Amino acid sequence: MRFNALFSKRGLAVLALAAAVPLVLPNTMNGVDIMGEAQAAGTETAIFAGGCFWCIESDFDHVPGVVETISGYSGGQTTENVTYKNHVAARHREVLKIKYDPSKISYDKLLDIFWRSVDPTDGGGQFCDRGHSYSTAVYALNDEQAKLAKASKAKLETSKALSAPIRTEIAQAGPFFAAEDYHQDYYQKNPVRYKYYRYSCGRDARVKQVWGNQAYSGINK
């Protein structure tokens, strides 16, 4: 980390863990709970990896049409018992599962917000958080999402809006593992620590540098 270890992502997570008993929510795949619980009627699901899931959760919680967000892990080599302690070794990314109302916001619009809330030109992580687990990705839950994500990425590349190639992976979604309870809504549970972390990590400053006036305006509300 580039700043005091106490206020790094991992340092803050350790502090939170000491004050809470983690609760692992059910795992899901392709929008359907592995345990058999169907997705809520009238909603659809998107899964994005955008660096620290505390931050991307905060961003998307303020998007009209988003019904629910769950921080978690996905994209790695294991299919069970994935936790904050072992997800890095298993090559999972920190991700956000977004349930949204398609009558109020489209998947295309969610993609647009996602691009403009991260640095898609950084293939080595996001901001001060380095490594594969913090790198960006779009995990498509079906063929239509894959088609839309690839088209959105291609449009962005053609537009030359960014000064460097896009390094964000677009891949088929695999199993989703909900993060421990102390990670969920971290920005609400620990607002002072969260704001210090986000500022120290340079997330908003870098997004503004990359996107200028096209940066997602809902960041850090």
98: tokens are 């977004």
Pairwise CA distance, residues 214 & 158, whole Å: 16
Residue 52 falls in the annotated catalytic set:
yes
DSSP code for 7: G
SS (H, E, C) 101-168: CCCCCCHHHHHHHHHCCCCCCCCCEECCEECHHHCEEEEECCHHHHHHHHHHHHHHHHHCCCCCCCCC
Pairwise CA distance, residues 197 & 176, whole Å: 25
Annotated catalytic residue, options 52, 55, 128, 201: 52
Pairwise CA distance, residues 124 & 133, whole Å: 9
User: Angle 191-201/53-61 helices, nearest 10 degrees?
Assistant: 110
Tell how far CA 86 is from the center of its chain: 18
Residue 170's H or E segment, with its range, is strand 169-172
SS (H, E, C) 180-191: CHHHCCHHHHCH
Catalytic residues: 52
